[in-house]
Structure 1
């Protein structure tokens, strides 16, 4: 919201573009972490990948409907650490989910339209649900975050 109390759709659009960038990174990261998981553990990785692709595509369509250029995906992303085991893969998934959560929180702060705010709340919740499962798989405690997307 602008200082004069007027909703700023341009700022909201910029925040939407940030979420698209985070979703691109999540899609790429889920592809990378899948290789370190045993075959019987692929289901949550596939579900996460599908979820991030779906929301990314929805956001791209929203931006295009506004006449805004979506952030293009990068050719590759740097992993924060080597992914050599199932525990590493789960830890990477946590990083990815926390990254998109932070982007959704920034969007919530900048949302001008109620529908965008509702989408951000729903996707923030979905990211935290996925993160809980991955934190458990990575052996992290606590498995939940009281304030997902905010600095701990």
Structure 2
């Protein structure tokens, strides 16, 4: 008689799944945040905000498929997310857009670290795109997009957990 051990996913796949779920949660929050940005941004930058919104929606949808492919159930979007600060005007909307991109860049950095192959390449592309958008919104750059912002948010160099219900 042969006894077979239950089939489990390798730890690396579990790490990739957890990081993909975190990225999906971050994209849900960013899509919500860009809804706020779009309501406050001036006409001159409205098309840019719409492009970013559409790009994040596409990334969110692709991450849902990735999570399923990795054997997980994609987390649903929350009804609302807490904003990091009030957004009463265009200046605050610009700051929020840069903040959204900084935060999602950090989450994609975690996915780059946890994944390999095509998923790692996609995560690196998403991190790069978020960093470029953050520079455009802010009008300046940071040395290591996503890293400094992650450390400041966490108070350490450890990756953050889920972004559910917060931006």
TM-score for the superposition, normalised by structure 1: 0.87
Question: Which residue of structure 2 lines up, in the alignment, with residue 119 of structure 1?
Answer: 122
Matched, 1:12 2:9: no
Question: Which residue of structure 2 lines up, in the alignment, with residue 57 of structure 1?
Answer: 61
Q: 2:105 aligns with which of 101, 104, 108?
A: 101
- Work out the CA distance in 1 between the residues paired with 2:44 and 2:109: 33
- Work out the CA distance in 1 between the residues paired with 2:62 and 2:106: 18
Range 126-135 or range 61-70, more displaced: 61-70
- Work out the CA distance in 1 between the residues paired with 2:88 and 2:50: 18
SS in structure 2 at match of 1:70: coil
Q: 2:138 aligns with which of 135, 139, 148?
A: 135
SS in structure 2 at match of 1:11: helix
The runs of 4+ residues in structure 1 deviating greater than 3 Å are none
Range 6-15 or range 75-84, more displaced: 6-15
SS in structure 2 at match of 1:35: helix
Larger radius of gyration: 2
Equivalent residue pairs, number = 140
Range 118-127 or range 62-71, more displaced: 62-71
SS in structure 2 at match of 1:147: coil
RMSD of aligned alpha carbons: 1.3
Superposed displacement of residue 7, structure 1? 6.4
